[in-house]
């Protein structure tokens, strides 16, 4: 984690601890600089990151203000940190259905920008929130980047492992969302009826250098999941 990212986290903690509300003003730049003992450019970059993440908004000539329309229990669609972080007030668990090394499907190869003979880790798991099925997840990891996975790792947060364990820098993601009806197989995993609504999300996660490393397909249980997005212009 870079210094400004760390300071961004500190500022988020500050907002949390001081129970700041929507529209509350943050301390001025000078005060943030002395409080965190960092340079102006570090604080500025941290604030820009927080603006991008929808944590604060800046009003020219007037200051930096808190955004806090977050509703409890909503999953952020803009976070690349995985659910564990996102829903940390809830108990998130996983059941592994499948883990193996295989050749990618045509679709996975295309989205991961690899050849048909390259290896991928294939992970299929059901994730639970407070013991209730939250989603069914299928992921294809480019094995030349995510070099090792095992059952223990994928029962926990894969993203924590990727960043902390493998030391990779997760950059950005492209997500494609569809609403549809559950198939019988999906309904079985999620404890719902065939034909019930689903949110189906395809995501391509990239490293900061632009290389895609994870192509995932997630089917959400509509009863257990709700989402929020804090968008900038």
The binder of a copy of itself chosen from 91, 132, 176, 194 (CB under 8 A) = 176
Q: What is d(CA 80, CA 205) in angstroms, rounded to the nearest whole number?
A: 8
The binder of a copy of itself chosen from 12, 48, 119, 138 (CB under 8 A) = 48
Asked if residue 86 binds a copy of itself (CB under 8 A), the reply is no
Count of positions on this chain that bind a copy of itself (CB under 8 A): 53
Measured in whole angstroms, how far is the alpha carbon of residue 13 from the centre of its chain?
18
Asked if residue 174 binds a copy of itself (CB under 8 A), the reply is yes
User: Applying CB under 8 A, which part among 31-39, 90-98, 128-136, 195-203 lies near a copy of itself?
Assistant: 195-203
Asked if residue 184 binds a copy of itself (CB under 8 A), the reply is no
DSSP code at position 144: T
The binder of a copy of itself chosen from 175, 183, 185, 191 (CB under 8 A) = 175
Asked if residue 106 binds a copy of itself (CB under 8 A), the reply is no
The binder of a copy of itself chosen from 43, 146, 204, 218 (CB under 8 A) = 204
| 182, 193 contact by CB (below 8 A) | yes
Q: Where is 198: in which H helix or E strand?
A: strand 197-207
Return the structure tokens found at 136.
């069914």
Asked if residue 127 binds a copy of itself (CB under 8 A), the reply is no
Q: How far apart are the first and last CA of the chain?
A: 27
Nearer to a copy of itself, 35 or 173 (CB): 173
What crossing angle do the helices spanning 29-36 and 40-52 adopt, rounded to 10°?
Answer: 110
Rounded least distance, CB 79 to a copy of itself, Å: 8
Provide φ and ψ at 31, rounded to 5°.
-70, -40
Provide φ and ψ at 130, rounded to 5°.
50, 40
Q: What is d(CA 139, CA 176) in angstroms, rounded to the nearest whole number?
A: 15
Which residues bind to a copy of itself, rule: CB under 8 A? 5, 23, 48-49, 51-54, 57, 59-60, 62, 65, 67, 69, 71, 74, 77-80, 170-181, 196-199, 204, 206, 208-210, 220, 222, 225-233
């Amino acid at each position: 984690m870079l210094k400004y990212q760390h300071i961004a986290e500190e500022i988020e903690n500050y907002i949390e601890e001081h129970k700041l509300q929507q529209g509350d003003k943050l301390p001025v730049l000078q005060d943030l600089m002395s409080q965190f003992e960092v340079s102006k450019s570090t604080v500025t970059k941290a604030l820009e990151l927080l603006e991008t993440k929808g944590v604060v908004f800046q009003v020219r000539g007037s200051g930096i203000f808190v955004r806090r329309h977050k509703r409890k229990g909503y999953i952020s669609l803009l976070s690349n940190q995985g659910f564990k972080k996102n829903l940390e007030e809830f108990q998130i668990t996983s059941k592994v259905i499948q883990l193996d090394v295989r050749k990618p499907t045509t679709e996975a190869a295309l989205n991961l920008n690899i050849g048909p003979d390259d290896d991928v880790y294939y992970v299929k798991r059901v994730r639970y929130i407070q013991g209730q099925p939250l989603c069914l997840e299928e992921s294809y990891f480019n094995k030349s980047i995510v070099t090792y996975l095992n059952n223990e790792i994928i029962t926990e947060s894969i993203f924590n492992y990727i960043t902390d364990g493998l030391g990779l820098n997760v950059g950005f993601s492209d997500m494609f969302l569809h609403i549809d009806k559950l198939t019988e197989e999906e309904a079985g995993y999620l404890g719902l009826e065939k034909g019930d609504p689903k949110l189906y999300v395809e995501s391509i996660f990239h490293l900061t250098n632009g290389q895609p490393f994870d192509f995932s397909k997630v089917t959400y249980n509509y009863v257990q999941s709700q989402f929020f997005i804090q968008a900038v212009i």
